[in-house]
A = this chain, B = another copy of it.
Amino acid sequence: MKSVSENGAFGGEQGVYSHASDVCGCDMTFAVYLPPQAKAAKVPVLWYLSGLTCTHENAMTKAGAQAWASEEGIALVFPDTSPRGKGIADDPAYDLGQGAGFYVNATESPWVPHFRMWDYIVHELPALVFGAFPLDRERQGITGHSMGGHGALTIAMTHPETYGSVSAISPIANPTASDWGRKQFAAYLGPDQAKWRAHDATVLMEERGYPGPVLIDQGAKDQFLNLLRPEALIAAAAARRQPVQFRLIDGYYHSYFYVSSVMEDHVRFHAARLAEA
């Protein structure tokens, strides 16, 4: 692991690091915010998964999360959204290939050698950051925006023993029924749609739910509402009487202006949940 940059921020430190990923077969970059409390003891950690076209950088620079993380004494980890670089498969479309890993392990050519973001987020990067930083492995939450909200929800519902809290902002909520999902799952996972279901938050909500309250925020003016399909996820949550807070907020679009507007609530939600853990 190599330090790319370190900057003081809200009494703590915002670092950017790169490392050679075995899982993705390339160098990967990620960011960690350590709040001031991390100087004295291990702190809880909130994983933030980003959306299409994003790197580790967007949320780190635009979401304002460090202000609240510093107050709450919670660390933030911002991974990249896909493997990257020359010699790694890509597609001219913004929503497939580099910058669009969709948090799955690809099984299909040409994606299979590098596009293994599920294993990267769930296994490899945690092993690295828990070894390198004063983070409490027993207190992990996960959230994300858009494609990252999809990743947060599917990962948390699959591994609730690991993630003690989950939330999502404008998530891709039902990808097996959306052009943000069907195209990518066909490419990464192949034509057998039964294999797609493990990566659809609405399907997972129908089949298993999550052992704790789930916070989901969505801007009512979001340009991509028809692709995100929050109504399917909420219907599934309501049907199983899943504890959930769903907010469809007027006046907000899909951008980081919206993400930053609700970020305080998400950081405080995770901090409160993880404090009970």
Chain B residues in 8 Å Cβ range of A110: none
State whether A61 touches B62 (Cβ < 8 A). yes
State whether B8 touches A67 (Cβ < 8 A). no
A224 interface hit (Cβ, 8 Å): no
Q: How far is the CA of A256 from the CA of B9 in the complex (A)?
A: 9
User: Assuming the A-B contacts A62-B62, A64-B64, A67-B67, are A221 and B261 also in contact, with contact meaning beta carbons closer than 8 angstroms in the complex?
Assistant: no
State whether A257 touches B64 (Cβ < 8 A). no
A140 interface hit (Cβ, 8 Å): no
Q: Give the number of chain A interface residues (Cβ < 8 Å).
A: 26
State whether A258 touches B221 (Cβ < 8 A). no
A255 interface hit (Cβ, 8 Å): yes
User: Assuming the A-B contacts A67-B260, A67-B264, A257-B14, are A8 and B62 also in contact, with contact meaning beta carbons closer than 8 angstroms in the complex?
Assistant: no
- Closest CB in chain B relative to A243 CB, distance in Å: 26
State whether B61 touches A8 (Cβ < 8 A). no
Q: Which residue of B lies closest to A258 (CB)?
A: B8
Q: How far is the CA of A250 from the CA of B7 in the complex (A)?
A: 11
State whether A219 touches B253 (Cβ < 8 A). no
Q: How far is the CA of A11 from the CA of B250 in the complex (A)?
A: 9
User: Assuming the A-B contacts A66-B260, A67-B260, A264-B67, are A253 and B8 also in contact, with contact meaning beta carbons closer than 8 angstroms in the complex?
Assistant: yes
State whether B9 touches A260 (Cβ < 8 A). yes
Q: Which residue of B lies closest to A65 (CB)?
A: B64
State whether A221 touches B8 (Cβ < 8 A). yes
A246 interface hit (Cβ, 8 Å): no
Q: How far is the CA of A43 from the CA of B257 in the complex (A)?
A: 21
Kindly identify, within residues 13 to 59 of chain A, every residue whose CB is under 8 Å from any CB belonging to chain B. 13-14
The 3 closest A-B pairs by CB, nearest first: A8-B251, A7-B257, A9-B257
Q: 20 interchain pairs (CB within 8 A)?
A: A7-B252, A7-B255, A7-B257, A7-B258, A8-B249, A8-B258, A9-B257, A9-B258, A9-B260, A10-B260, A11-B261, A13-B251, A61-B62, A62-B62, A64-B64, A66-B257, A66-B260, A66-B261, A67-B260, A67-B264
Q: Contacts A61-B62, A67-B264 known; list 20 others, CB within 8 Å.
A: A7-B252, A7-B253, A7-B255, A7-B257, A7-B258, A8-B219, A8-B250, A8-B252, A8-B253, A8-B258, A9-B252, A9-B257, A9-B258, A11-B251, A11-B261, A13-B251, A64-B64, A66-B257, A67-B67, A67-B260
